C-alpha cells in the first residue's frame, strides 16, 4: 500500500508517540492540530467545544498511538476519526445533537483525510529538531499558568477538569490559559 510522503513522516512520529516519546507527540500535534481544529470548528460551530474536541482527540491519540495499524489507513484519517468521535460525544453530552448534520460530518472527515497537494506539511522529518527547539522557545515565552496547563493537557493527557483540580484553579481559568496559550504559541511559531 502506498502511503505517500505526507503519511511517512506522520507514521514515524506516531510510532514514536506510541513508545511514549513526548517530543514526537509535540511534533505530531504541530502537524495535525490546525487541520483537526478546523474540522472540529466546522462540525461543532463553537470555538470552545472545538478546542475541547481537539484536546480530547489528542489525549486519545497519545493513549492509543501504540495501537495504530498503518495497514488500516492513513495517520491523518485515523486522527480525524478519533476527532469525529470526540466531537460527537461532546455534542451528545451537551445536548446539542442538532448542531451538526451527520452527513456533513462524514463528508468533512473524508475531505480532510485526503491529501491536499496545495498545502504541503509544515515541515519534514529533517527539520524536526529545529521545530522542536522553536516550540520550546515559544513555550518559554508563555505565562507559567498557560505553559503548565498546556503541558498538562497535551503532554500528560489531562482533561481541562483534571488540570483545574491539580492546579487548584477554576475550570474557566484553565480553559482561558490553554486557549490564549495556544494562540500565542501559534503566533510565535509563525514569526
Alpha-carbon gap, residue 104 to 154, rounded angstroms? 28
* Contact predicate 61/82, CB 8 Å: yes
Block residue for cell numbers 503541558: 151
Instruction: Tell me the three cell numbers of residue 103.
Output: 452527513
DSSP 110-145: HHHHS--TTS--S--GGGHHHHHHHHHHHHHTS-HH
What pLDDT score was predicted for residue 5?
45
What pLDDT score was predicted for residue 128?
54
| Closest of 151, 161, 181 to residue 62, by C-alpha | 151
Block residue for cell numbers 491519540: 61
Q: Please, which pLDDT band fits residue 125 given cuts at 50, 70 and 90? A: very low
| Tens digits of residue pLDDT in 60-107 | 999 999 888 887 788 998 999 899 888 888 777 776 444 444 555 445
Q: Please, which pLDDT band fits residue 140 given cuts at 50, 70 and 90? A: confident
Task: Tell me the three-class secondary structure of 24-68, residue by residue.
Answer: HHHHHHHHHHHHHHHHHHHHHCCHHHHHHHHHHHHHHHHHHHHHC
- Is residue 182 classed exposed, middle or buried when 0-12, 13-18 and 19+ CB atoms within 10 A define those classes? buried
Q: What is the CA 113 to chain-centroid distance, rounded? A: 15
Alpha-carbon gap, residue 159 to 57, rounded angstroms? 11
* Whether the predicted pLDDT of 109 surpasses 60: no
Looking at 3-12, 25-34, 40-49, 146-155, which range is the least confident one? 3-12
C-alpha R_g of the chain:
16
Provide the 10 A C-beta neighbour count for residue 117: 7
Amino acid at each position: 500500500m502506498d502511503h505517500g510522503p505526507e503519511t511517512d513522516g506522520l507514521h514515524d512520529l506516531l510510532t514514536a508517540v506510541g513508545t511514549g516519546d513526548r517530543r514526537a507527540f509535540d511534533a505530531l500535534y504541530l502537524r495535525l492540530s490546525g487541520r483537526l481544529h478546523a474540522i472540529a470548528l466546522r462540525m461543532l460551530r463553537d470555538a470552545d467545544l472545538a478546542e475541547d474536541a481537539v484536546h480530547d482527540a489528542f489525549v486519545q491519540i497519545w493513549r492509543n498511538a501504540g495501537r495504530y495499524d498503518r495497514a488500516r489507513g492513513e495517520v491523518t484519517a485515523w486522527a480525524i476519526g478519533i476527532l469525529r468521535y470526540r466531537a460527537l460525544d461532546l455534542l451528545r453530552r451537551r445536548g446539542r445533537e442538532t448542531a451538526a448534520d451527520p452527513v456533513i460530518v462524514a463528508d468533512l472527515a473524508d475531505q480532510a483525510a485526503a491529501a491536499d497537494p496545495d498545502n504541503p506539511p509544515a515541515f519534514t522529518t529533517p527539520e524536526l529538531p529545529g521545530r522542536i527547539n522553536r516550540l520550546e522557545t515559544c513555550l518559554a515565552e508563555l505565562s507559567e499558568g498557560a505553559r503548565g496547563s498546556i503541558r498538562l493537557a497535551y503532554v500528560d493527557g489531562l482533561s481541562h477538569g483534571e488540570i483545574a483540580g491539580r492546579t487548584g484553579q477554576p475550570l474557566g481559568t484553565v480553559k482561558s490559559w490553554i486557549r490564549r496559550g495556544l494562540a500565542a504559541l501559534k503566533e510565535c511559531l509563525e514569526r
